[in-house]
Amino acid sequence: MKRRSLILSSLAAAAVVATPVARAQSRPIRLVVPYAAGGPIDVTARVLAERVKDSLGTVIIENRPGGGGNIGVDAIAKAAPDGTTIGISAVATHAINPWLFSKLPFDPVKDFAPITQMVRVPNVLVMNAETASRLKIATLQDLIAYAKANPGRLNYGSGGNGSAGHLAGEMFKRDAGIFAVHIPYNGGNPAQLALLSGQVDFNFDNLATAAPNIRAGKLKPLAVTTLHRSPSLPEVPAVADTLKGFAIDTWWGLVAPAGTPRDVVQRLNQAFVAALNSPEAKTRFAGLLAEPVATTPEEFGRFMQSELAKYEKVVKASGAKVD
């Protein structure tokens, strides 16, 4: 009798521990994308959702755009920590917005359990090709030399105050010891149109967005903002080749609500890392000029905290604020 009671108690305890995992297997997983459907983040999320269905079951993409990504991310933070809700964290939501917005409804560190980084997309410093030719600027060193010899003559555009392009420009000015006038536009597309028409001299743009105009010869790429050269643009040097340590990438990854059991996080990590390393995912991501990045939960957590610290300095130096 005593032995039977012990066995039943052990089985009950095992059932309690296994419940979150079982629920994650038996119920669809909701993957919250804090941006609109159709963009690179949404596309990569859908690619991975399809790849993990054999190991995790159905993964439903839920787009929750708005507030610079804050609305969707808040939904992730406030979901039940049982493995049935996960979502996208990005450089904007977890590294820039905490310093850009005076108040957020979530804590970017305490309210989330990292799963894995997913993607890195290089940004690229591009000039209007005609402007570069007229000013005889062929390299990043040429641009820096011209800016130093002609202070205040150059300007650069971005998708708005506090955008990745704005902050990359401010980092570049600081590290290169130059001055260029920042001209903010209402979004990345107007900023690129301003560059193409010659209204601004250079931009820091997403490589996926800039690539068609680079191939068409309308934009001249001077450097990528990843720490090393990008496989997507191997002939173009990194800014870090000239300005040591310069790195400002667009990245995103997967997180769960804080308190999600460790074994559930590990299971999610294993499934999504396998998906990221699959030939099919690599091929699809290459079409977006995005580089898959698979990490452990611990590595991704440390990376997000380092990015948060880096952008604190950059955002404060830029003076950018929302609300």
Burial of 161 (0-12, 13-18, 19+ CB in 10 A): middle
Q: What is the CA radius of gyration of the chain?
A: 22
**Which residue did the predictor score with more confidence, 299 or 36?**
299
Fold observed for domain 123-241: D-Maltodextrin-Binding Protein; domain 2 (3.40.190)
pLDDT digits (tens, 9 = 90+) for 199-250: 999 999 988 889 899 999 999 999 999 999 988 889 999 999 999 999 988 8
Fold observed for domain 24-118+252-318: D-Maltodextrin-Binding Protein; domain 2 (3.40.190)
Query: What is the pLDDT averaged over residues 37-58?
Result: 94
Dihedral (Cα; 212, 215, 219, 225), 10-degree rounding: 80
In this prediction the pTM is 0.82
**Which residue did the predictor score with more confidence, 296 or 248?**
296
Domain ranges of the chain: 24-118+252-318, 123-241
- Rounded to 5 degrees, φ, ψ at 12 are -65, -45
pLDDT digits (tens, 9 = 90+) for 152-162: 999 999 988 88
Nearest CA to 62 among 80, 75, 77?
Answer: 75
Could you report how far apart the first and last alpha carbons of the chain are, in Å? Answer: 67
**Token pair belonging to 86:** 């996960």
Nearest CA to 290 among 121, 116, 74?
Answer: 121
Average pLDDT, the chain: 91
